[in-house]
Chain A
Amino acid sequence: MVSLGLGSLGLIAIISLFMGAVVTIQTVAAIDSPLIPLYTVGFATRQSFILELAPTVMCLILSGKIGSNIASEIGTMRISEQIDALEIMGVNSASYLIFPKIIAALFTIPMIIIYSMFLGILGGWIVGAYSNNLTIDEYLYGIRWNFNMFHITYAMIKTLFFAFIITSIPAYHGYFTRGGSLEIGVSSTKSVVYSSISILIINYILTQLLLI
């Protein structure tokens, strides 16, 4: 659980806080017309984080961090014959090594994404409150305005798919590593590339299916 997410809490916190702050500043800067109310800034930050930044961008970051870890760990076990040792002991090595990782990711990654959503919106609030571009009340009103609970459900559905991708694709590449340490690096790189592309494709498909 630690290597599959809880160990990434610090990184996710830093990225979320700063991204939330930047989105808030960018939205404030983009609002030229006095006809657009300033609470739109809070609304835009919330929507950006719930719909895309937390589930998709954070999962892309996690696919790099966790994915390469899984691929190199299992790849090392393969080339150092540890997987053969498991097989000799009558253990179904794929099930023993991969299945717990997928299950752990399905539990931990959604929690991390909720944590990221909270911190992203908090980052926007801190910047909004101290930049004098909008009031705290306007920001708080904005993040509550026109709230649709289904967007959280949508984000969680996406996250579950991404969590599966983040663990299964690197595990596959690690498990079928052949050769030596050079090939472990290749497997690790491949796993990050393929899982990132898969996340983007699945993101598009799920958005098309769930939001339209």
Chain B
Amino acid sequence: MITVKNINKSFSGNQILHDISINFLRGKTNMIIGASGSGKSVLTKCIVGLHEIDSGLIEYDGRDFTHMNFKERKGIRAEIGMLFQGSALFDSLTVEENVRFPLEMHTDKSKEEILDRVNFCLQRVNLENVNHLHPSELSGGMKKRVGIARAIALKPKYLFCDEPNSGLDPQTSIVIDNLIQEITQEYDITTIVISHDMNSVMEAGDHISFIYQGRKWWEGDRHEILKTDNPELCDFVYASRIMQKFRKL
């Protein structure tokens, strides 16, 4: 479980996050939703330590991440997998080398063991015979899947996904959502997904936190979100015509 307590973060005097506290549950797909610019990505980058918080506390299964030094954080980071919005695959490396990278950085496994793990991870995300391709030769959905394969290569305890569906067609989005949900349950990990795609939320959101103007505005699950009368959340959830029609039913 990842616990976030009273986090505040500002950039050049402009406060982005206001006193946010959330518990991200193990074995669940924890979703952070909100409009663009609401602070979702900043919150996630604070949780993984890419941004230092101004005040508050971040704990990974009771371990205080906030006050750890670089070396101590390295131990936690070996337990973190992250899928970035643009996949963030290393352009100069092949698919195989991208997935191999964290294994070579953090394990003493032999080349054969590493290759077995790479092939297993690629098969797990339904990718085969792409080992020697470069990221520029892959489609958007394939890049996301390679990103997931790289993120799970070290058998992480914590998986972060920053808008895993952005730029993908609806069918591929569902494939990615299902994959993230399957991996979360299969490995019993704490998964945090940032999204503003309501299809994803309804597909995979076990635990949902709605961020509005840098504050945690609402918390619940995918069943509760449809019954909410919170006006800001309703504006977000029922923004599309399909959802408005769904609400009338």
With contact pairs A81-B84, A81-B88, A82-B90 given, residues A88 and B48 touching in the complex (Cβ less than 8 Å)? yes
The A-contacting residues of B in range 40-80, CB under 8 angstroms, are 45, 48-50, 70, 73-75, 77-78, 80
Classify chain B: how many residues form its interface, as a range. 20 to 34
Report chain A residues within 8 Å CB of B73: 90
How many A-B residue pairs lie within 8 Å, measured between CB atoms? 45
- Bound: A162/B88 CA distance, A: 33
Report chain B residues within 8 Å CB of A82: 88-91
Q: Taking the complex as formed, is A91 at the interface, i.e. its CB lies under 8 A from any CB of chain B?
A: yes
Tell me, rounded to whole Å, the shortest Cβ–Cβ distance linking A87 to chain B: 6
The B-contacting residues of A in range 63-120, CB under 8 angstroms, are 76-77, 80-82, 84-85, 87-92
Q: Do A89 and B50 touch across chains, with their CB atoms under 8 A apart?
A: no
Q: Do B105 and A89 touch across chains, with their CB atoms under 8 A apart?
A: yes
Report chain A residues within 8 Å CB of B140: none
- Bound: A147/B189 CA distance, A: 71
Report chain A residues within 8 Å CB of B106: 89-90
- 6 residue pairs of the A-B complex, CB under 8 angstroms, read A81-B84, A85-B88, A89-B77, A90-B73, A90-B77, A90-B105
Q: Is the interface of B mostly helix, strand, loop or mixed?
A: mixed
Residues of B within 8 A of A (CB): 45, 48-50, 70, 73-75, 77-78, 80, 82, 84-86, 88-91, 101-102, 105-106, 160
- Known contacts A81-B84, A82-B91, A88-B82; 9 further A-B pairs (Cβ under 8 A): A77-B91, A80-B86, A80-B91, A81-B85, A89-B77, A89-B105, A90-B105, A91-B105, A92-B70
Report chain A residues within 8 Å CB of B91: 76-77, 80, 82
**A-B CB proximity, top 10 nearest:** A90-B77, A90-B74, A81-B88, A85-B88, A81-B84, A88-B82, A89-B102, A82-B88, A84-B50, A80-B86
Tell me, rounded to whole Å, the shortest Cβ–Cβ distance linking A128 to chain B: 45
- Bound: A60/B101 CA distance, A: 36
Report chain A residues within 8 Å CB of B89: 82
Report chain B residues within 8 Å CB of A91: 105
Q: Do B105 and A88 touch across chains, with their CB atoms under 8 A apart?
A: no
Report chain B residues within 8 Å CB of A80: 86, 88, 91
Q: Do B101 and A89 touch across chains, with their CB atoms under 8 A apart?
A: yes
Q: Do B88 and A90 touch across chains, with their CB atoms under 8 A apart?
A: no
Tell me, rounded to whole Å, the shortest Cβ–Cβ distance linking A63 to chain B: 23
Tell me, rounded to whole Å, the shortest Cβ–Cβ distance linking B58 to chain A: 14
Report chain B residues within 8 Å CB of A77: 90-91
Report chain A residues within 8 Å CB of B70: 92
Tell me, rounded to whole Å, the shortest Cβ–Cβ distance linking A37 to chain B: 55
Q: Do A90 and B78 touch across chains, with their CB atoms under 8 A apart?
A: yes
Report chain B residues within 8 Å CB of A89: 77, 101-102, 105-106
- Bound: A17/B175 CA distance, A: 60
Tell me, rounded to whole Å, the shortest Cβ–Cβ distance linking A34 to chain B: 61
Report chain A residues within 8 Å CB of B101: 89
What is the chain B residue whose CB lies nearest that of A96?
B105
Which of A82, A85, A92 is the most central at the interface, judged by chain B CB atoms within 10 Å of its CB? A85
Tell me, rounded to whole Å, the shortest Cβ–Cβ distance linking A25 to chain B: 44
